[in-house]
Chains A and B, each alone.
Chain A
């Protein structure tokens, strides 16, 4: 392997902030917008996505030697679909209420561009430890992004965090719009701008 390839540790760190899948790469937006009206669904979603991402990366990395270029996307999606079925059945068995609440968004992990892009960019070219480190880093980055949006929306929208009341009913008027679909777009738009502004300021300071 070429010496300028990032090591496993670099890949791991990369996914968390410098190449955060949501804020820097704008990948996997459907679940980011759809399930972030509360911390509980957001974290369940993050866990399911992490499971699928790590397992798919392991399998793809192991079979990368026998992959045919023109069939690789099909192989990726079928691998991912298998693990999503496992995750979906497990959720339905152990967290039935949550699985009802997440509804179609668990099977929609199959077409989450984040997972396909990691399979394509990293796992199909790297050895197993690097691929796993990359998948874990990306999963943590994805979970952090989901948590940040869910925190804003749940706090402003229903005054709670993980279902625990933080802002009391009396003095905090509920912003009902934040838990409804438009709130997702607004919250993500503003948070993207904040992330952009922060990165820009860091770059200016570094100069």
Chain B
């Protein structure tokens, strides 16, 4: 039960309370660039959610077994090589290079796979896939997972990592779709000339961020409510 509550809290927190775009400012480039039409925004959101889940799965695996302090694999190698068993092996200095490599190669792989086996899907969001390599939201999710795998007494499991990825991707989709809807309306408005394009988009995003600030502090309330509901 407690696990389920923790998972729901991570999911909600990543999707709404600390929205990736409007609270952490990651994924701003597609948020401004691909938010002109609602259908394209949904396609981009789906692509990001998909890649973020794969990247979260891979980065959790690599971090848990190889990169975190006192990870099992390098420790075993170190001791097999005859190293001092009192030494704590920590490869976390390699994590950034590892993550970016994982993201870039999984994006390439997903693109090839989707193009070969799901041509209609590729037509609808395949064009966004190469852009996603440089989407900060993916790397940010990996870094969040890494942050929660540092303390050996309180480690995230794979399910926590996946909840964060799906919540974050969902939050990105919500934000970019709302933005696209607003911008479709904005096209019909008489915007002052200097504000045309990115200027007004950013101001609109600012107002949206204010609205999302209303979710601040919801985490504790949700936790209490869920505990009361499920623990009875």
The residues of A with any CB-CB pair to B shorter than 8 Å are 26, 29-30, 33-34, 73-74, 77-78, 80-82, 84-85, 88-89, 104, 107-108, 110-113, 116, 177, 180-186, 188-190, 192-194, 196-197, 200
Contact = CB atoms under 8 A, between A and B. Distances in A.
Q: Is the interface of B mostly helix, strand, loop or mixed?
A: helix
Q: Is the interface of A mostly helix, strand, loop or mixed?
A: helix
Contacts of B133: 73, 77, 111
B96 A193 contact: no
B14 to A, nearest CB: 14
A189 B200 contact: yes
Given A183-B206, A185-B209, A29 B32 contact: yes
B198 to A, nearest CB: 6
Contacts of A107: 96, 139, 143
A91 B25 CA distance: 22
B193 A177 contact: no
Contact of A194 (B97, B134, B194): B194
Say which size band chain B's interface belongs to. 35 or more
A182 B19 CA distance: 12
A186 B201 CA distance: 10
17 contacts: A26-B198, A29-B28, A33-B25, A110-B96, A110-B139, A111-B135, A116-B134, A181-B23, A182-B209, A183-B206, A185-B206, A186-B202, A186-B203, A189-B203, A192-B198, A193-B195, A196-B199
B93 A181 contact: no
A85 B203 contact: no
Given A34-B24, A34-B25, A84 B96 contact: yes
B134 A111 contact: yes
A177 B207 CA distance: 11
Contacts of A200: 193-194
Contacts of A181: 22-23, 25, 209, 213
Given A26-B32, A73-B133, A193 B100 contact: no
B50 interface: no
Contacts of A73: 104, 133
Given A185-B205, A189-B206, A180 B213 contact: yes
